[in-house]
Structure 1
Amino acid sequence: MKTKELLNILKENSTKNLLFEYTPGQFVGAHYHITEVKNVTIDSIDCGANPDFWKETVIQLWESPKEKGKRDYMSAYKALSILNKVDKIKPMEREVEVKFEYSNASFHTSQLYVNDYQVSGENLIFKLGVEQTDCKAKETCGIPETVAETVSECAPSSGCC
């Protein structure tokens, strides 16, 4: 999901409670805060020596231990207000992927993609998920696309990396 899509969905559903499902059936606690918004630039070289460049928006969610028993979720309106305030200070790129950074005691820190969203009653639910790492230089490494997920040939001794 692009940053502009996220902002539009929040605006269209401003009266809804904002929930994040970080893995199927598991939700970020109602005591979460938006603690950081990052404009990230990635300037990289893959294992086949190919340069790559892209930007992302990363929004960090944090569960406050002081508010652990809280039952009311942040509204989409409040989240949009926070993001608009950030945008006035550090403008967000609208045409880039948005991710949510999150962890808790039983879930490691991850940057999660927005796979989908749904409106259910009074709730706006963003369904988050991980994307597997991948070798971007499969052709250089001699890894067929169809078996790339099961092959671990892109290793330092393979001549690829």
Structure 2
Amino acid sequence: MTLNQVKTALEHLETLAFQLPNGELVPSHFHVTEIGKIAKHFIDCGGTVRNETVVNFQLWNANDYDHRLHPEKLVHIIQLSEKALGIEDWEVEVEYQGETIQKFGLDFDGTRFLLTTKQTDCLAKDKCGIPAPASKPKIKLSELQSSSCCEPGSGCC
């Protein structure tokens, strides 16, 4: 989800809610303690130099129950960060405290923001000799209809 998509979603909300991948909600008294621009300049294992820039939201679960963050306040914080940091319409990632600081992608279901899992990956599989995932063999419908695959002795199990 890009920053502009977040701002559009915020325009239609009365309250803010973030849901973790396991279905639990981030406590409603959370704070967005940081909005930042994270630029990553790196070289992958195949020797390709890469650049990646994301917008980072850090959510913090405070024991401050009297200052719940409202959508219009978050829009204001986003606007300040855009001006001060030169933030553009990049993908948004979210940091949240679990057993350690966890990073999530972000999606929206129409009423709440969904923290989505992120995975590591090899960006140079072709150069590293990592084979492409094997595709499942395709079976023609006529082969299924003509075979007796689930009869004793058919070899199906």
Q: Same fold (TM over 0.5)?
A: yes
Larger radius of gyration: 2
- Which AA in structure 1 matches 2:40? I
- Which AA in structure 2 matches 1:126? F
Secondary structure at the counterpart of residue 35 of structure 1? strand
Equivalent residue, structure 2, for 1:27: 25
* Structure 2 residue 60 is the aligned partner of structure 1 residue 62: yes
Kept after mapping to 1: 8 A contact 2:3/2:92: yes
Identity across aligned pairs (percent)? Answer: 28
- Which AA in structure 2 matches 1:93? E
Query: CA RMSD, aligned part only?
Result: 1.9
* 1:134 Cα deviation after fit: 0.7
Aligned length: 134
| Structure 1 residue runs without a partner (length 5+) | 148-161
Kept after mapping to 2: 8 A contact 1:17/1:73: no
* Structure 2 residue 75 is the aligned partner of structure 1 residue 84: no
| Larger proportion of strand | 1
- Which AA in structure 2 matches 1:108? T
Equivalent residue, structure 2, for 1:159: none
* Structure 2 residue 14 is the aligned partner of structure 1 residue 4: no
Equivalent residue, structure 2, for 1:158: none
Kept after mapping to 2: 8 A contact 1:33/1:62: yes
Kept after mapping to 1: 8 A contact 2:37/2:55: yes
Equivalent residue, structure 2, for 1:136: 123
Aligned pair partner of 2:105 in 110, 113, 119: 113
Aligned pair partner of 1:44 in 24, 42, 64: 42
TM-score by length of 1: 0.75
Distance 2:67 2:19 in 1: 16
Distance 1:28 1:10 in 2: 17
TM-score by length of 2: 0.76
- Which AA in structure 1 matches 2:127? T
Distance 2:102 2:74 in 1: 20
Distance 2:23 2:100 in 1: 16
| Structure 2 residue runs without a partner (length 5+) | 135-157
* 1:57 Cα deviation after fit: 0.4
* 1:32 Cα deviation after fit: 0.8
Distance 1:93 1:21 in 2: 25
Distance 1:26 1:91 in 2: 33
CA change 1:72–1:125 in 2 (3 A) is farther
